[in-house]
Structure 1
């Protein structure tokens, strides 16, 4: 199989590329390196350094492709509030360009990464895919548009598509040290560096953290079996961990203790997130989730291999986007 991974130089995409190459597949990566890293591109992958908004690059990248995993996006709720047009262009318009390029190249299978942030103001726990959605940020709106375009291409053009809603994916290669860093790398970086932990809100914010290795195994299974579904699918396992509980786990793993510095909750952040996973279990009955403690231990071990701790900018504290 020849697989195209957009955003394949990023955190999730590069882990997926490694897994696909190890399974014997050909891998093409399309990434403009705006958020990805060149050193994430694995040996053996064909790398196209270009934007998903570049029609010519998309046409070239789609040649001979059997399936697309579309991960390229501008993440972060705060970034979308600061620059909603850029977020919309990358996430909504970019997805539409991917779908059109796939249709033109007769690539019949596209898997998309959407986000749990689309649930927004809906307070229900766990969050079922048929629950109402009320996005609270431009980022969440852009991901909802992307998933709905992806699903509409099934009914409009007969394309096999699958839209996953990711829930706070974490693991090796998720870096700290930038203004939109996610909460787990931020906390690990601060703990290992002996800095105070910056927490947005009172620490009761909770998330369904999902290990990247589990996510990538599901993604690879989806393309190998050409799985399609006519509704979004939560890609998480029904856990619910508060920021304070997360800190306690990380302190136990690292053997470090740090002062907590609390700041106001961020605009657009969802207070609590937890996935209902009946659809995931039905479509992927063989998947086993990596327990949080094990996944955090793997992530801390990876951080310890870095040449120097990545000093996290103060304004990046405790990003919890889905």
Structure 2
């Protein structure tokens, strides 16, 4: 049994990690300010003696120090996501994603945490046109959000070299799955489209629908976090990994899959029209990850490709949104 702190543990990814590690028998502490996370994502754990909730903010060092006390590992998921949000309000994104990240690193170092695993981002690849994306070839960032996530990697690298704390960054590629919030101005594309279809409303695709992404189901992300936490390979730490499937899907293909799976519950969804709008500022045209490094050093093998993950996600949304 390990003691694991999960920052942002009431969010989409964080709550799935919380559930997984509690089921695995670990003690889990969640630090969350509920700015984007939800209590109902973790409420089923409130009576679990191995679960502790700390309502706090990573922007405050005092909260960070309280949260890391006695912890073996940190899974740092807390952040303000969304490229459009960062373009609209770069200062708050920087405060949370950079200052908050540094606070957590310092607190973890001072508390003697064994390993600091953090959510990095595929946005770090920026304007690099090479495909597939490999970890050591990146371009210039295309948004304030991308800058903040790249700075996280730089800080983690310096802390591992200077202070000896083990760090592993996981560059998430378009993660989706159960508990991903379909509401709000910055909802991700899959839950947003699912909600639109279920309401018989037309989703809006930015551009012609030929932009592609390496959509990554939540169970693949859980696997990568567990491998990063448990690896005993000294060559596997103090580095970053793509956390993806290694396959890409266009937005038009994505819509086709969603219609197919949702029509199993409501056949009229197959007739919902799609609306096309302008391209979104800061978006990259194509994203495809190489997962060779994770396979070689961590033993990673994706459990779900896009269709399998979407089918499970659609079932979850149908049962929980209806």
Normalised-by-shorter TM-score class: over 0.9
**1:244 aligns to 2:252 (yes or no):** yes
Q: Alignment partner of 2:239: what SS?
A: coil
Number of matched pairs: 308
Whether the 8 Å CA contact 2:167–2:239 is kept in 1: the answer is no
State the distance in 1 between where 2:78 and 2:216 align.
19
For 1:286 and 1:106, locate their aligned partners in 2 and report how far apart those are by CA, in whole Å.
28
The equivalent of 2:282 in structure 1 is 268
Corresponding position: 1:281 with 2:289: no
Match of 1:229 in 2: 237
Alignment of 1:1-322 (within 5 A): 1-41=2-42, 42-43=44-45, 44=48, 45-225=51-231, 228-255=236-263, 256-257=269-270, 258-308=272-322
TM-superposed CA distance for 1:307, in Å, is: 4.7
Instruction: After superposition, give the CA deviation of every residue in 1:227-263 in whole Å (9 maximum; x if it has no partner).
Output: 6533321111211100000011111111122211111
The answer (yes or no) to whether the contact 1:10–1:35 under 8 Å persists in 2 is yes
Q: Distance in 1 between matches of 2:105 and 2:319?
A: 38
The normalised TM-score by structure 2 is 0.93
Could you tell me whether the CA contact under 8 Å between 1:187 and 1:197 is conserved in 2?
A: yes
What RMSD in Å do the two structures reach over aligned CA positions?
1.3
Matched-pair contact (CA < 8 Å) for 2:220–2:244: no
Which position in structure 1 is the counterpart of 2:266? Answer: none
Contact 1:109–1:226 under 8 Å retained in 2? no
Give 1:200 shift: 0.5
Given that 1:129 and 1:231 are in contact with CA atoms closer than 8 Å, whether structure 2 keeps it comes out as: no
Gaps of 5+ in 2: 264-268
Aligned equivalents of 1:86, 1:229: Cα separation in 2: 30
Question: Is residue 151–residue 163 contact of structure 1 (8 Å, CA) maintained in 2?
Answer: no
Question: What does the per-residue CA deviation read over 1:165-211, in whole Å, with 9 as the maximum and x for residues that have no partner?
Answer: 10000000001121000010011111111111211111011100010
**Aligned-pair distance for 1:286?**
4.8
Q: Which has the higher contact order (CA 8 A, sep 6+)?
A: 1
Question: Distance in 2 between the 1:285 and 1:83 partners?
Answer: 39
Q: Distance in 1 between matches of 2:321 and 2:277?
A: 30
Deviation string 1:81-107 (CA, Å, 9 cap, x unpaired) is: 000010011111111100000011111
| Cα shift at 1:31 | 0.4
- Distance in 2 of aligned mates of 1:125 and 1:225: 28
**Distance change in 2, residues 1:83/1:76 (3 Å):** same
Q: Distance in 2 between matches of 1:222 and 1:120?
A: 24
Between the aligned partners of 1:135 and 1:289, the Cα distance in structure 2 is: 30
Question: Could you report, residue by residue, the CA deviation over 1:251-282 in whole angstroms, capped at 9, with x for unpaired residues?
Answer: 11111222111111111011110001111111
Q: Distance in 2 between matches of 1:46 and 1:287?
A: 31
Q: For 1:232, what is the secondary structure of its paired residue? A: strand
